[in-house]
Each structure stands twice: as C-alpha cells, then as structure tokens.
C-alpha cells in the first residue's frame, strides 16, 4: 500500500466508513470529505484507512432504502469487528445511512464519531424557494390537478436539488443527523452546516483530529448512548417537528444500546413542548436558513430546560457545555418556546381497535380540520391495487372518505416503504381538495405532509386489524384523544379474522427470506431480532 512502518507504528488506526456512491446524490462530496478527514487523522497522530460500505440512496433503491437499513448496520458492525481498527468516522446523511451507521457502530462499540453529510443548498424556481421533497409533492399535486405543464415540471426538477448534501427540508435526514448530534455522537453544531460550505470541509478535518483522541481514551458509543441522551434526542425531534421516521429509527438505535424506548415516551415528550423550527414541511424555511439562524446549537439552547445537560458527547464536553453561548440570529426561523409553531411537539401516538400496538401522525403537517374526522373507508389491498384504482372516478370517493392501504408494512410491502402519503384521487385534486385522512401500515417521507396515519401495528400482513377493514366501514380519527377506531362490532371482527389468510411468503431465499424471518414491527424499531443488543459477540479468533 506504499506506507512505511513508521506511518502506522504505534498509531491509532482509524477506519473512515464512507457511504459515497455515484448512486447516491446526497453523498457526492464524500470523496473530498474523506480526504479532509484523513488530513485531520494524520495531524493528530493517527493512521487513517478509508473503507467503503454500502450506500443507501433514498432516491433510487427498490423497494425502499429502509429494506436495507439493517443490512448496512450489519455490514458496519462486522466491518468494525473484523478489521484491526481503534476508532471510526461514520460518514452518512442520506436518510437510512444515519441510523444504520449508528446502529452498527453501537453494536461493535468501538470509539466512533459521526460525520454528517450536511444539507444541500436551498432550491429556487422562478424566484420562489423550493424545499426538496416537500415542494416536489406540492407541485406533483398541482401537476395531477392539471395546473402545471410538463415543461414546468421538468424546470422544477432541475431547480430543486442543486448541490451535494441531503434533503434540506426537515425530512428524515435533517431530523436524524440532528438527533444523532443531540445523542452526543457529532461535533457541536456540525449537523446544520450546509454540505458545500467551506466550514463543512473544516468540520471533516476536525472529526479526523477528534477521533484520534477518542480512540486513545477508548470512548465507546455505549458510554454516550444512555436513557438520558435518548431523552435529549426525543426532545430535539419534537422541537424540530421531525420526521415520523425518527421514532422507528430511535427505537432501533436505542435497542442496540440495550435501551428499550416505548411509543408512549415519544407522545409524553411531544406534549411538553411545541415545534420551534420553522422549517418545511411544518414551517416556512429550509435548512440553509436554519444554519444561518444559529443551527442546532441555537435550537437546543431554546429547549435546554427539557434536556439532560450533563450528558457527555464526543467533543469531550457535556451537551450543556456545547450549547453554552449559542445564539439565535433569526427568531422567525428558530422560535422561542413562547412563540412555537404548535402547542405540542411534532409527532403524536394513537391507539384503538385499528392499531392496538400503536401508530403515529404528524399533526403539524396535516389540515387541522381533519384531526378529528369520521368517514367511510375506501380500502386498497396493496400498493398495486392502489395504483390501479385510486383515480377511478367510478369509486366516487369524496373528501370525507378515509383512504386505507393494507399490506404496506415491514413484512407486507416488504420494507415498510414511504407510501403512507397515499395519493388523493385526481378528480378530487381538480376540485381543489389537497388533504384527506389516509391510513396505512407504511411510513411516510419526512418531507411529506397530510393527515396520514402511519406505522399501524400490528401490520395487516400478519393479521393486524388493518387487514380486516372493508369498504364502507366507518372509521374515526381523533388526534386529541389519541384514538383510531373502526366502528365494527367485536363479533364481526372475530368473524373476519377467522376468514383471514396470510399471503404466501414472497421470498424463499436470500436477504428477502432473512428479512421476513427476522424483522420486527414498527413499535420495536423494525430491527432484526437477532441484532438486538444482548450478549456481546465474541472477538473474532486470529489464526
């Protein structure tokens, strides 16, 4: 490899896990960043080794990047275990790369620091700011309603993502990188820096320098990931108005640290503070504005009374010390709690005879008048059925109907894809309707919006009550009372359950079979059962 013995002798060996790929538009700057990390590692007296790992590209993976989150987590864990490494820099940002890298490093438990890809620049089209995902969904509805032509749509596509970096709305990537910082795994303020800002390159070198110290001091992720730091992560998620996906990922990440988070903890914390990040899809601005307004440290300083400030972080200082002196430079972007965007936090947990194990909704991203709504069910048995029939005018759906999608959960789809913002029929879009109650066992992109009830558990593919809903059943959504109920008698539900049959297994071999055999439901984080933290795996033998 061209190194002298002196280059690596008695130096901590730092593995730089790089999720760069030409298939992942969010990480196209990672080749440069890896070099900048190496510079920092050399400067601090370490020995850097770059190691490519699987890249989970949100835009291009079939059936969904979530299907492969656990595969990347497994690859990371075993990569860190099998090579002679003393520490690692985890390079990620695009949605599922973030929890996957943290899950794997937590299980391997070697000193780790997370290097966030940073958000891309804001989009701009005809003088109007565009937010990735959020404005694509918005204008797609206009296109379907006949208000935007093909050329306009193509122009918009060219204008919405104009630099490397992850989605710059408060989607899953912005949410997850921020909560990983709140957990203590990132350098202070690093998760808000735009991907192409020169500070981002400097931050990468600083990660390289810092991981060498962490390796000498043997500071491992499970020392930092505690019940208190996960509390901080949930507070951050709620104050951000974060992606509903954060719940699934945080439960899975905590599980790797041997900590059990329940859906009720998220709901309890959501009642204690409102959303203060005025970022799309709940708000008005995008992540570049958030950075200029003071970024994550400024936001954390606004909610510091809700945080465990003594939690240690990779900076070597406590979270409280990291946010000392943080200032808000634009209090319309980062609001004080007294002027929050909503009275409560970003995500609520519902239960009822349709979701005995729970489901979630993001009220701040929904039409308020739908948060208490009853209507007849219009049921689609799977995504193919939905695509085929949703725009069929003979179904004669109205704005009062509740659209129900079955078989879109972890096993049913498989992979619990982001199908939960179910399409509104084109003929209703043309009438000006832009939101309806929609329920499913799928997830929804953090950049999406609407009165969408998600992650219904147990899922329909394993015989959960969602599988028993039929066209015309009356369903009630009552967000204030945290209730999702179908008005069908117990006797009738028992009769339907007796008639219900599971679909044949989709995969007989390979990753699909492993996935179906091992995946857990959304309230358990959709991790594989055999990857939950139990006994540590033994060190590999050396021959």
Rule CB under 6 A: which residues touch ligand FES? 26, 58-59, 94-95, 166-167, 171, 173
State in angstroms the smallest separation of the CB of 65 from ligand FES. 9
* Structure token pair of residue 519: 């995946």
Report the distance separating Cα 390 and Cα 397, nearest Å: 9
| Rounded least distance, CB 177 to ligand FES, Å | 10
Q: Which is nearer to ligand FES, 26 or 436 (CB)?
A: 26
With beta carbons less than 8 A apart as the criterion, state whether 454 and 437 touch: no
- Report CA dihedral (178, 439, 365, 427) to the nearest 10 degrees: 130
Query: Would you say 238 and 345 are in contact if contact means Cβ atoms under 8 Å apart?
Result: yes
C-alpha 422/C-alpha 442 separation (Å) is: 10
Minimal distance, residue 459 CB to ligand FES, in Å: 25
Peptide bond into 414 cis (omega under 30): yes
Neighbours of 372 (CB within 10 A): 13
Q: What is the closest distance, in whole angstroms, from the C-beta atom of residue 540 to ligand FES in the complex?
A: 33
Closest distance between ligand FES and the C-beta of residue 454, in Å?
Answer: 18
With respect to ligand FES, which residue has the nearer C-beta, 123 or 523?
123
Q: What is the dihedral of CA 83, 88, 90, 91, to 10 degrees?
A: -90
Nearer to ligand FES, 50 or 58 (CB): 58
C-alpha to C-alpha distances, 37 to 79, 90, 432, nearest whole angstrom = 19, 11, 51
Nearer to ligand FES, 93 or 346 (CB): 93
Burial class (CB in 10 A: 0-12, 13-18, 19+), 39: middle
What is the smallest separation between the CB atom of 296 and ligand FES, expressed in angstroms?
Answer: 17
- Helix ranges restricted to H, 371-447: 383-389, 426-429
- Please state the closest distance from residue 248 (CB atom) to ligand FES, in A: 16
Residue 161 beta carbon to ligand FES: minimum distance, rounded to whole angstroms: 8
38-27-246-99 Cα dihedral, nearest 10 degrees: -50
Q: How far is the CB of 102 from ligand FES (least distance, A)?
A: 16
Q: How far apart are CB 287 and ligand FES at their closest, in Å?
A: 11
The alpha carbon of 476 is separated from its chain's Cα centroid by a whole number of angstroms, namely 28
61 Rama sector, left if φ>0, alpha if ψ -120 to 50, beta otherwise: beta
What values do phi and psi take at 150, rounded to 5?
-60, -45
Give the residue with the Cβ less far from ligand FES, 58 or 213.
58
- How far is Cα 390 from Cα 393, in angstroms, rounded to an integer? 8
DSSP strand pairing (348-352 vs 123-125)? unpaired
Tokens 């993001």 found at: 362
Judged by beta carbon, residue 19 or residue 340, the one nearer ligand FES is 19
Q: Is 452 helix (H, G, I), strand (E, B) or coil?
A: strand
Give the helix/strand (H/E) hosting 6: helix 5-8
The first and second tokens of residue 1, run together, are 């490899």
Nearer to ligand FES, 72 or 173 (CB): 173
E strand intervals along 297-371: 348-352, 355-361
Q: How far apart are the first and last CA of the chain?
A: 23
Residue among 226 and 445 whose Cβ is closer to ligand FES: 445
Residue 416 CB, nearest distance to ligand FES (Å)? 17
- Which CB, 106 or 132, lies closer to ligand FES? 132
User: Taking the C-alpha atoms of 195, 198, 202 and 203 in order, what is their torsion angle to the nearest 10 degrees?
Assistant: -30
Cβ proximity to ligand FES, 173 vs 328, nearer residue: 173
- Cα separation of 449 and 365, whole Å? 5
- Nearer Cβ to ligand FES (322/447): 447
Residue whose tokens read 């002027």: 339
* Minimum gap (Å) between residue 253 Cβ and ligand FES: 18
Q: Is 385 helix (H, G, I), strand (E, B) or coil?
A: helix
Nearest distance in Å: CB 94, ligand FES: 3
């Amino acid at each position: 490899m061209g190194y002298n013995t002196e280059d690596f002798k008695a130096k901590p060996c730092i593995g730089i896990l790089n999720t760069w790929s030409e298939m992942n538009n969010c990480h196209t700057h990672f080749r440069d960043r890896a070099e900048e990390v190496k510079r920092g590692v050399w400067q601090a007296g370490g020995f850097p080794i770059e190691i490519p790992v699987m890249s989970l590209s949100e835009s291009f993976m079939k059936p969904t990047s979530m299907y492969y989150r656990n595969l990347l987590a497994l690859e990371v864990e075993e990569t860190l275990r099998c090579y002679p490494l003393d520490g690692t820099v985890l390079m990620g940002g695009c949605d599922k790369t973030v929890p996957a890298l943290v899950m794997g490093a937590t299980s391997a438990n070697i000193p780790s620091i997370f290097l966030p890809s940073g958000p891309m620049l804001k989009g701009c089209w005809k003088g109007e700011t565009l937010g990735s995902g959020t404005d694509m969904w918005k204008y797609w509805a206009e296109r379907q309603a006949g208000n935007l032509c093909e050329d306009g749509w193509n122009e918009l596509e060219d204008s919405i993502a104009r630099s490397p970096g992850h989605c710059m709305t408060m989607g899953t990537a912005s949410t997850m990188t921020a909560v990983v910082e709140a957990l203590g795994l990132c350098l202070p303020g690093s998760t808000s820096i735009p991907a192409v800002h020169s500070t981002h390159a400097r931050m990468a070198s600083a990660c390289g320098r810092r991981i060498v110290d962490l390796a000498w001091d043997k500071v491992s992720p499970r020392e930092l990931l505690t019940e208190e730091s996960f509390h901080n992560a949930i507070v951050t998620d709620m104050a951000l108005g974060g992606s509903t996906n954060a719940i699934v990922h945080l439960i899975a990440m905590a599980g790797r640290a041997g900590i059990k988070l329940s859906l009720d903890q998220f709901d309890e914390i959501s009642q204690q503070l409102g959303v203060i990040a005025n970022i799309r899809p709940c708000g008005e601005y995008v992540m570049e504005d958030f950075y200029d307004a003071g970024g994550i440290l400024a936001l954390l300083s606004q909610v510091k009374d809700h945080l465990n400030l003594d939690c240690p972080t990779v900076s070597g200082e406590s979270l409280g010390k990291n946010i000392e002196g943080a200032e808000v430079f634009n209090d319309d972007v980062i609001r004080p709690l007294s002027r929050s965007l909503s009275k409560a936090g970003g995500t609520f947990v519902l239960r009822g005879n349709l979701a005995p194990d729970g489901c979630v909704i993001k009220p701040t991203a929904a039409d308020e008048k739908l948060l208490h709504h009853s209507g007849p069910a219009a049921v689609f048995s799977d995504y193919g059925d939905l695509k085929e029939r949703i725009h069929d005018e003979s179904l004669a759906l109205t704005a009062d109907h509740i659209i129900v999608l079955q078989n879109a959960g972890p096993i049913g789809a498989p992979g619990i894809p982001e199908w939960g913002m179910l399409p509104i029929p084109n003929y209703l879009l043309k009438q000006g309707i832009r939101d309806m109650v929609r329920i499913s066992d799928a997830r929804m992109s953090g950049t999406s919006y609407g009165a969408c009830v998600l992650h219904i558990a147990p899922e329909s593919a394993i015989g959960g009550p969602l599988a028993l809903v039929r066209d015309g059943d009356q369903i009630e959504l009552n967000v204030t009372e945290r209730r999702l109920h179908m008005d069908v008698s117990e006797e009738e539900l028992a009769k339907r359950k007796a008639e219900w049959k599971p679909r044949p297994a989709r995969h007989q071999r390979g990753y699909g079979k492993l996935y179906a055999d091992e995946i857990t439901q959304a309230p358990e984080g959709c991790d594989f059962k055999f990857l939950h933290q139990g006994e540590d795996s033994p060190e590999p033998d050396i021959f």
